[in-house]
Structures are given as C-alpha cells and as structure tokens.
Structure 1
Amino acid sequence: MTAPPFPLTWLYVPGDRPETVAKALVSGADVVLVDLEDAVAPDRKEYARAATAELLCEPPPVPVHVRVNALDGPYAEADLKTLSPLPGLSGLRLPKVTSPAEVVRVAEAAPSSDGGAIPLYALLETALGVEQAFAVATSHRALRGIALGEADLRADLGVRGDAGLDWSRARVVVAARAAGLAPPVQSVHPDVRDLDGLAASCTHGRDLGFLGRTAIHPRQLPVIERAYLPAPEEIERAEAVLKAAAADPGAQALPDGTFVDAAVVAGAHRTLALARHRR
C-alpha cells in the first residue's frame, strides 16, 4: 500500500506494543511508523520485530513504514531480512544515516515482496548526516525522502534553543528539492500536551518548506493537519492567481499589487492540488 499523494501526518508507535499499533492504524494518520529503534528496549527487539512481521503479513488499512535499528548495530540485518519481503510494508526509515553508501547497502540488501525496490527514507541525525544531505538524497533510486531526527541532532550539535536547528532544517529542505524528492517531513514535537506550541512550530516548519510532520501521539494529528493544509484564504488566492493567468498568460499584477509570474502560478497549482487531495 502506498501513502496518499500528500501525506501530512506520520504517527510513530513502538513496535513491541501490538495493541498500540492496532490503535494507530485507525487513528487517522496518513502513515503509521512502527519503530524498532529508540522506542524499543534491547531485550524487546526480537519480540518487536516478530510482532511487526506478523502485522505486515497482510496489507494493513493504512501505509506502514518501519524504522529499523541502527544500520551499524546488531539488529538491523535481521530487521531488513525479516521485514523487507512482507507485502504489508510500504517503506523503511533508516536511522542516523551519514553516507550514501549506507542507503545503497540497504537498497541492495532489502528487495520488496515483488522483487522491486522498497521505498527508503533516510533520517539525518548528526552533523555529518546533515553535511551529507544532498549526497544521501541522490544515493539510490529507492530513496524517496530525507528528514531530520532533531532530538539526536540537537544533542550532537549542543544546540540550546530551537532556532539553532533552522540552518540544518533549511539544508535538508534544499537538498531534497535539489534531488527531486518530496519536501521533507518535519521532526516530532516531543511535548504531547503542548498543542499550541505544536501548532506554532508547524507554522514555522511550513514557512521553511517542510510538508507534514511526524507525531508521537494521536492528539497531535489534527493540529498537524490543520497547520499544513491550505487555509481558505490561501485557496481563494490561488484560485485568483490561476484565473488571472488564464485570462492573460503574460506576467501581470493582481488587484492587490502582487506580481504574478510562472513561479507564482506554479505555487498556486501546488496549493490547490494539496487542497483537493485532502478533501
């Protein structure tokens, strides 16, 4: 099963809690991210892998991606060998990627159930990973996206305030666009009770060029969706831009003085496409 054309909500859930995974599948998230890495204690790794394999023996009701364990650790090989052939797997999220070679190695070692390439998503969680963003983004045709893992990156950089991550965020957005990938998904907001802070952070992320966000609790999903969906006034403006462009294909100005050119028209098309696919 593939993700919707514009997936906005991606819900993380621990792989060793099948009952929680079952709830996540009906939570309204566009994509469920089963985590075998940070959310699972070492003595629960094998159980989490087996429970996830059982889930993915049949296609679930929504796309399911799995974040496997560290690629240089003792669990990743078994994760990839066990899960990649299963028909219910829609993608693999690779933690702490620092080089294109890691992506290539996984792509070659993890064919899908039909023999093709499983969609891969690289998480950049260190300074070295961010420095390698474009190289990773162009490493293999199976790679469909890159994103930041901000908790680990914050610790690696010694960043105190949130603004200290903005350069890395912009770097990943630019690398994804330059590689022809979808816009990155924003990293999690760790305080599940701070919905106002989540909304403000999503607005900032959208301003930076992100599209959608990972979540760690279902209550965060509607906040993320509202923040990333075009507001009524954005839709109205996009429609006005396209109407003006249709009437006169040349460059012109809207009644409010805004200059309309090909780039503005392209942005209007993206806005309306997102609005249509989320109705």
Structure 2
Amino acid sequence: MTIPLTWLYVPGDRQDTVAKALRSGADVVVIDLEDAVAPDRKEYARAATAEFLSDPQPVPVHVRVNALDGPLAAADLKALAHLTGVAGLRLPKVTSPEQIRRVAHSTAHPLYALLESALGIEHSFAIAQSHPALRGIALGEADLKADLSVRDDAGLDWPRSRVIVAARAANLPPPPQSVHPDTHDLAGLASTCAHGRALGFLGRSAIHPRQLPVIERAYLPTEEELERAERIIKAATAHGGAQALRDGTFIDAAVVAAAHRTLSLAARRG
C-alpha cells in the first residue's frame, strides 16, 4: 500500500477542477465542501460531489464536509454516507472526541479530524483515540493561527508537535502538514516542508498541482538516508539484537523499524 505524501484540495463546486485533480499525480484528492465553496454554492457543491462520487475513482478521494457544529454538516454526511467513490471524510474544526463518535455512527467511511483551534489542540490525544473509524488527525493552520493570534510561523511549532505526538501515541500515522498558502512560492514550500519533516510530519496538503512534486521530493528519503537504512537492515538481518555499526551508529528494534519505513518511502521512486 502506497504511503500518501500529497493531499490535493479542490473546490467541490468545480467539477472540471476535480477531474483534473484526479490526473494530477496526487496520492489523495480532497474535495472541499467547506472553505473553498461560497455560501450560495454549498448545496450545488454537495449535490455535484455526491453525483461524481457515486462510482469508484482511480485514486482515493476524500471529502471535507462543512463544520460539524454548523447547519450544513448533517446534510453533507447524509449525502456522502454510502457512496462508493468516497475513500474518507475529513472533518473540520473538531474540538472533542464526542464529535468523532457521532459521525462514526452515521457512516462506514474512514474519518480524518482537522484540529483548527486551541481547544482542538488541547483535546488532540482524546480525539486521536476516540473511535476505530478515525484514521488520522491533522492541523488546519490558518484558523489555528487566527485563534491563537500567532504572528510568526514559529509560534505554531508547539501545537504542531503536540498533534504529531498525539497521533503517534494513538497509533495513528504521522500527520501531513497543513497547506502552504502561496502557490507560487515553491522555494518557501520546500523550506517549510524540510522543517515539517524535521518535526515529524509525513507529507503535506496542497492547493495547486505545482506544489505536488516539491512536497514529494521533500518527503522522500535522500540517497544518504536510503543507504544508511539499507546498512541498518542488512546488519540487523545478519546479526540480530542491539548492536553498533562500524561508523558507531547504535541500532536496536526502533532504529530498524525506522529503516524499514525509509525503504517503504523510497519504493515510491519506482
């Protein structure tokens, strides 16, 4: 199973854009019924998305529904509940585990929680372990930055780490990074991807296809990392148990597991 590194958001009321997104090379396409759709287009976006996803799709398609505490989410969830083209539902502005449990009772689709407020961050571990249907958590940084009155991007590093730790403590995959809002700033995208990878994120959401190759390059292992992983696995296979390599690197079960993850990511290169 391919490890997803790129999650491309597209507006739910633009079916031409959705069709192009499916051919973009993104690992997951996310049809957005929330922020990307104007209020007077919400009902059209829901109906068009439901019709589009009535059949299986060539790549996994998730749908971000409207805020769970608002008037539109119930209709979104009902329209999407049994569609074969839906691979997951992304739930915005989650603040409590009870919200996840309520949604899980109404659909069989995998769920993904977006934490976009101080309260959501504080409840991140409880949310992460709320229900078996929850397959991942991630940040919505634009709303979170506004809620926290953060002026500098570095002010988000603590909540970022909090959510990464919560995900791993609940045995969920490492979260993907939130979007880089400037679609022309590819150098900035690459730089912030490198920082996110250092924090423990895995992959990133995007809002334009030109961002996809930058994200993938940033999150794929380097040749040096790949060679090191191969040395670790070779040594572990030959000798077993904790040991030190010739270069002084100490390896144990956790290091070997990380090496296997590196090789799994490298396999994406074909």
TM-score, reference length from structure 2: 0.97
Aligned residue for 1:43? 40
Aligned counterpart for 2:14 among listed residues 3, 6, 17: 17
Match status 1:196 vs 2:187 = yes
Count of residue pairs brought into register by the alignment: 270
Do structure 1's residue 246 and structure 2's residue 237 form an aligned pair? yes
Structure 2 residue 76 is the aligned partner of structure 1 residue 76: no
1:136 aligns with 2:127: yes
**Following TM superposition, by how much is the alpha carbon of 1:253 offset from its aligned partner in structure 2, in angstroms?**
2.2
Q: How far 1:265 sits from its partner (Å)?
A: 1.3
Distance 2:62 2:216 in 1: 19
CA distance in 1 between counterparts of 2:269 and 2:123 reads: 33
How far apart in 2 are the matches of 1:245 and 1:268? Answer: 10
- Deviation string 1:24-73 (CA, Å, 9 cap, x unpaired) is 01000000000000010110000000110111011111111000001111
**SS of alignment partner, residue 89 of structure 1:** coil
2:163 corresponds to 1:172: yes
SS of 2:105's equivalent? Answer: helix
Code of the residue aligned with 1:60 in structure 2: it is Q
Task: After TM superposition, give the deviation of residue 135 of structure 1 in Å.
Answer: 0.4
Shift of 1:255: 2.5
Q: Which runs of 5+ in 2 are unaligned?
A: none
How do 1:25-64 residues align onto structure 2 when only pairs under 5 Å count?
A: 25-64=22-61
- Alpha-carbon separation, structure 2, partners of 1:10 and 1:243: 33
Shift of 1:277: 4.4
Matched residue type, 2:81: S
Shift of 1:21: 0.7
Give, in whole Å, the separation in 1 of the partners of 2:62 and 2:95.
Answer: 20
How far 1:250 moved relative to its partner? 3.5
Match of 2:116 among 125, 146, 157: 125
Q: So what's the TM-score if we normalise by structure 1?
A: 0.94
Paired with 1:263 and 1:62, the residues of 2 have a C-alpha distance of 32
Whether 1:213 aligns to 2:217 is no
Residue 278 of structure 1 deviates from its aligned partner by 4.7
SS in 1 for 2:4: coil
Paired residue type of 1:42: P
How far residue 232 of structure 1 moved from its aligned partner, in angstroms, is 1.3
* In structure 2, distance between residues paired with 1:125 and 1:172: 11
Misfit runs of 4+, over 6 Å: none
Q: Which moved more, 1:147-156 or 1:51-60?
A: 51-60
- In structure 1, stretches of 5+ residues that fail to align are 112-116
Matched with 2:100 is 103
Instruction: Find out whether 1:158 has 2:168 as its counterpart.
Output: no
| Range with bigger deviation, 264-273 or 128-137 | 264-273
239, 242, 247: which is aligned to 1:256? 247
Q: Percentage identity across aligned positions? A: 75
